[in-house]
Amino acid sequence: MTASTGWGEESRRTSRSEPLPADPTGQRLCELFGHYPWNFIRADRPDDATAKAAWTTVKTHPLRPRVLWNQWQDANQLIGVRFTHDTRYALLDLDAGGDYCTADGVAQIRTALETIGITRTLLLRSSWSGGLHLYIPFAEWVNTFNLAVALKECFKAQGFRLQAGQLEIFPNVKAYGVQTFIEYMGHRLPLQPGSGSCLLDDDLNPIGASLARFFWLWDGAAGHQDMDTLRHAMKIGRDNHRKRPKRRSHPVESWRHDLDLEITEGWTAYGQTNHLLKTIACYGRVFEGLQGQALIDYTLRIALTCPGYEQYCRHQHEIERKVIAWARAVEGYYWPLGTTPTRDTSHPKNNLVPFNQRQTESAQHRICTVYAALEQARELPEQITARAKAIAQGAKVSQQTLYKHLSLWHPEHQEGVIAPVASLLAPEEVRLEAIPESLEPFEIKELHPLERDMKGGALCAGELGSDINSFTPERGVRGDESSFPQEAELNVYDPDLHEQIQHQIRSLGWSGEVIRQFIADQFEGKRWSELMEEERLLLLYHLRVLDR
């Protein structure tokens, strides 16, 4: 039975016209192991016979049959080959020191192979290191990949460890190359002179290194394989390999495994009591379905028997109290697996201002503040470029951010737009809002000028406001006489307290509307200007608590 040839391999087949060696034994060696001459492996024989050889892949030229036979006979070098799409043998590599490199291990492997129709094998010592090679010969060609899958499925199903240093299969189950052709792994040739390779009996005793005897045993073993059973096993193995889904661990099982792992490890250092009590209670609640006193008893019992409890738990004198606290806390938050949740798991409405919005509002606030300061100091540049540079530097924003808010500073975009207040809690606003609706006769009232206004002259008409409806007979005609603004006596302006409150508002990133609403909620609908000094101190306290 000859399998079809895969992509990229027909051109690499050994030509039937390639001249073989004159030696009949050499011819047989090339017929069995020279089927695929490309990318062969070689190594110089190490000086230390038990040392590992440094194998390299030769990609420059193919290994012709006569060259293969010549290099096999060279005791100063080691030679190896690879599989192609179909083969007449397989090889199992049992490394020295591994679990299966014993007479009993070989017997177990041979028993496993019989389940897929392989009833005869050839046992060799691979080299002076003491590793073993178990050859599996066939009397006909078989598909290489299907054979590799069948062998892998056979050993995995029976619990063998397939890994380097233990048990390796040649041919290996290689990946399928889409863009490039992927080679099978290479293996060394048997019984090379000086390599330490030799035939072994069932008790691992050497019985010679004759290549002719090797081929005689080979033919006898190949004729006794149950090929029908093997072909059936290869079909099942290939189908399983095609249909096997990717393994996905269920999140619940992963969580259970993690909790169980932590509980099994127990205490390994100080300071782990709270974490472990919560973990034990959580496991008992979710996966054991416990509640109430049963959950408390379970948590206490497991905790007292965990490793490291007596050595590292420094709460042994109060362990029952802590167990009760954690059991009650866990019971209110978790529920048994598969039951209806005992708490509302719907996502609460997010009332927090998004980060980007807070950043935008903070940038707008700084731009307005700097704009107002420059305008008041009469230092606002007329030229747009200079103005933008001055505001950006003062507000600590980029030019890109500044030009996103043209209405806040650009003269061509401010028509019909009332310029926003520079700061919600600016002293000017406090001063204006504090002016009473009517004044007592001027003679019996004292003036309380602000410090910043004492540095200059009296405010001119119109600087207090432009509302024509604000005129009342009791107040006289606004602006007829120069006068200093009157501050309400009850709300004394404390610049240090004012600055601290502004700092807290900036750190929270709140807009003017947010802080106004917050003040109203905390102080029965009052505005900032209506707060007494002790209320402003209380406001500062509330803001600091929120910022923690």
* φ, ψ at 199 (rounded to 5°): -75, 150
435 within a domain of the structure (yes/no): yes
306-349 confidence digits (pLDDT tens)? 999 999 999 999 999 999 989 988 888 888 887 777 665 555 55
pLDDT band at 179 (very low <50, low <70, confident <90, very high): low
pLDDT band at 178 (very low <50, low <70, confident <90, very high): low
Mean pLDDT rounded to a whole number for the chain: 80
Query: Are residues 261 and 213 part of one domain?
Result: no
Cα–Cα distance between 490 and 531 in angstroms, integer?
9
Residue 122 CB neighbour total at 10 angstroms? 21
454-496 confidence digits (pLDDT tens)? 444 444 444 444 443 443 444 444 444 443 344 444 455 567 7
SS3 at position 338: coil
413-465 confidence digits (pLDDT tens)? 764 333 343 444 544 444 434 333 333 333 444 444 444 444 444 444 444 44
Query: Are residues 170 and 194 part of one domain?
Result: yes
Query: Are residues 194 and 132 part of one domain?
Result: yes
347-375 confidence digits (pLDDT tens)? 555 555 566 777 888 888 888 888 888 88
Token pair recorded at residue 377: 């100091």
Query: Are residues 290 and 233 part of one domain?
Result: no
pLDDT band at 531 (very low <50, low <70, confident <90, very high): confident
Lowest mean pLDDT among 113-122, 202-211, 303-312, 506-515: 506-515
477 within a domain of the structure (yes/no): no
Query: Are residues 261 and 186 part of one domain?
Result: no
pLDDT at 461: 41
Specify the higher pLDDT residue, 127 or 512.
127
Lowest mean pLDDT among 214-223, 400-409, 464-473: 464-473
Query: Are residues 329 and 363 part of one domain?
Result: no
327 within a domain of the structure (yes/no): yes
100-150 confidence digits (pLDDT tens)? 999 999 999 999 999 999 999 999 999 999 999 999 999 999 999 999 999
The alpha helices in 377-508, defined as continuous H runs, are: 384-395, 399-402, 427-434, 451-454, 495-508
Cα–Cα distance between 115 and 118 in angstroms, integer?
7
Query: Are residues 122 and 86 part of one domain?
Result: yes
Please name the amino acid found at residue 477: V
Token pair recorded at residue 14: 């050994």
374-390 confidence digits (pLDDT tens)? 888 888 898 888 888 89
Specify the higher pLDDT residue, 345 or 528.
528
Lowest mean pLDDT among 19-23, 91-95, 214-218, 457-461: 457-461
Which value, to the nearest 10 degrees, does the dihedral of the CA atoms of residues 501, 505, 507, 509 take? -170
449 within a domain of the structure (yes/no): no
* Domain end point (choices 333, 368, 397): 333
pLDDT at 300: 94
Cα–Cα distance between 195 and 126 in angstroms, integer?
8
The alpha helices in 379-529, defined as continuous H runs, are: 384-395, 399-402, 427-434, 451-454, 495-508, 512-522
CA-wise closest residue to 185 among 199, 175, 193, 196:
175
266-289 confidence digits (pLDDT tens)? 999 999 999 999 999 999 999 999
Chain Cα centroid distance, residue 349: 28
pLDDT at 55: 93
pLDDT at 364: 87
Query: Are residues 134 and 78 part of one domain?
Result: yes
* Domain end point (choices 195, 220, 243): 243
Query: Are residues 228 and 85 part of one domain?
Result: yes
pLDDT band at 299 (very low <50, low <70, confident <90, very high): very high
Query: Are residues 71 and 91 part of one domain?
Result: yes
Cα–Cα distance between 229 and 419 in angstroms, integer?
91
pLDDT at 528: 82
456 within a domain of the structure (yes/no): no
* Domain end point (choices 301, 333, 365): 333
SS3 at position 106: helix
Lowest mean pLDDT among 132-146, 156-170, 468-482, 529-543: 468-482
5 within a domain of the structure (yes/no): no
Residue 90 CB neighbour total at 10 angstroms? 23
Please give the tally of structural domains in the chain: 4
Query: Are residues 125 and 34 part of one domain?
Result: yes
Mean pLDDT, range 389-408, rounded to an integer: 85
pLDDT at 499: 78
Containing structural domain, residue 367: 355-413
The CA-atom distances, in angstroms, between 101 and each of 121, 124, 155, 374, 417 are 15, 11, 15, 88, 90
476 within a domain of the structure (yes/no): no
519 within a domain of the structure (yes/no): yes
Query: Are residues 262 and 230 part of one domain?
Result: no
pLDDT at 415: 47
Residue 200 has pLDDT above 60, yes or no: yes
Question: What's the pTM?
Answer: 0.46
